[in-house]
Amino acid sequence: MSDHVAQSQPVLSMPSSVPSTLMPSSVTSKRHPCSSASVTYISRRKLVEVVDGLLGVMTPSSTHIKPSVHSFSDGPSDELCPYKAWLATCPSALASFDRIIASAQGKKIALFLDYDGTLSPIVNDPEKAFMSPEMRAAVKNVAKFFPTAIVSGRSRDKVFEFVQLKELCYAGSHGMDIMLSSADSESKTEDDKETKLFQPASEFLPMIIEAYDSLVEATRSITGANVENNKFCVSVHYRNVDKQDWNSVAQLVDDVLKSFPHLKLTTGRKVLEVRPVIDWDKGKAVEFLLQSLRLDDPESVLPIYIGDDRTDEDAFKVLRERNCGCGILVSQLPKQTQAFYSLRAPSEVMEFLDSLVRWKEQQQPAHVQE
């Protein structure tokens, strides 16, 4: 799967069942005009936006976020929110495994997995965030029984290089670059076996490339800063930057975004994410995947989403609002979350995946297992 999809392959159209609220609404960039036939984009309506750690005011002429001197934090301290007390509201998915399985009785499980911090450990060099062979085997095994998708902030190509499993769906760039595989589809016709793409932010590609080049140049003087092009978004990593320079990084990013009013800034785990201003995120990507794979019936499907970052909260929120499915947050610290359950580390994620496989194997008739 090099670029896993040939350039000539079709771009997946939005299913007719997708509510109009999922479709981005219109805004036109003077620097990068959008064609009238393309997907349109959301207008900037919010005057104030708070992005979990970055506080800023959004004026009608600007969508970037002005960093404050208290821009970065890793969440509540143990003194304010003890982990054990937090588990009362966000219990371990391993300890609650029987409860989760009970809610899946008579239903098909659909599995959605973040990558960094979920399937692989968080590392100083994002290019070395490799998953272990044991984790790859666990994901491969679980995908034999359940439709499985990777939903990552990484580019789709990059996350595929890390995972290297063709039997999965991949949603890169926070869901702005989705690859559907017929391995997860109920339909098995020859036409459906063709891999398809859905890229709601394709018109922003020239702008993203320009912003990436500008951010690389702007942060060149900051030791440890790393700018990553994730195709439909740009990630500015400051994990290896001296803490006294963190706000300098934020200020430089903010200054660059003044030239790109149709890009917005969000935050992750010691990373600043620059994305197009469209009404699309990991939650929308999960809804799209469920509908595209004919898995959106809450009476017959239980979606499970496992992730560790702030961007995964959009997916947790969707599952909570659907009142069907469960989000599982990967964290060793208590955090405010829309997830129902928690796991402490990728090692527990692997244990949870293995438990799903063992449970499913026990449900299979003996002649099917042989």
Which of 214, 249, 276 finishes a domain? 276
For residues 32 and 207, is the Cβ–Cβ distance under 8 A?
yes
Residue 223: which domain range?
A: 203-276
Q: Beta-carbon neighbour count of residue 79 at 10 Å?
A: 6
Q: Which residues of 127-166 are buried (b: 16+ CB within 10 A; e: fewer)?
A: eebebeeebbebbbbbbebbbbbbbbbbbbbbbbebbebe
114 is catalytic: yes
Counting the structural domains of the chain, the total is 2
Is there a single domain that holds both residue 86 and residue 179? yes
Q: Are residues 289 and 330 in the same domain?
A: yes
Residue 189 lies in a domain: no
Residue 39 placed within a domain: no
Q: What's residue 73's pLDDT? A: 42
Of 52, 114, 281, 297, the catalytic one is: 114
Residue 74 domain-assigned (yes or no): no
- 242 and 325 part of one domain: no
Specify whether 260 is located in the same domain as 111.
no
pLDDT tens digits, 140-191: 999 999 999 999 999 999 999 999 999 999 999 999 999 986 444 444 444 5
Residue where one domain finishes, among candidates 276, 308, 336: 276
Q: Tell me, letter by letter, the H, E, C secondary structure of 192-207.
A: HHCCEEECCCHHHHHH
Same domain for 345 and 357, yes or no, is yes
7 belongs to a structural domain: no
> Do both 177 and 289 map to the same domain?
yes
Whether residue 269 is found in the same domain as residue 297: no
Same domain, 334 and 296: yes
Please indicate, yes or no, if residue 64 is contained in any of the structural domains.
Answer: no
Mean pLDDT by 10 residues, the chain (370 residues): 36 42 34 33 30 33 38 44 86 97 94 97 90 97 96 95 94 94 48 70 96 97 95 95 94 95 91 94 96 93 96 96 93 94 97 97 64
Tell me which of 252, 276, 300 is where a domain ends.
276
- pTM score: 0.76
Same domain? For 164 and 285 the reply is: yes
Q: Where are the alpha helices (DSSP H) in 41-200?
A: 83-87, 97-103, 133-145, 156-163
Cβ–Cβ < 8 Å for 112, 303: yes
Note whether residue 30 is domain-resident: no
Q: What is the CATH number of the domain that holds 90?
A: 3.40.50.1000
Here the CATH number for the domain that contains residue 264 is 3.30.70.1020
Both 284 and 341 in a single domain? yes
Q: What is the largest CA-CA distance in the chain?
A: 65
- Taking residue 107's Cβ as centre, other Cβ atoms within 10 Å add up to 16
Output the pLDDT for position 113. Answer: 98
- Is residue 197 domain-resident? no
State pLDDT tens for residues 74-101. Answer: 444 444 457 888 999 999 999 999 999 9
Q: Is 48 part of a structural domain of the chain?
A: no
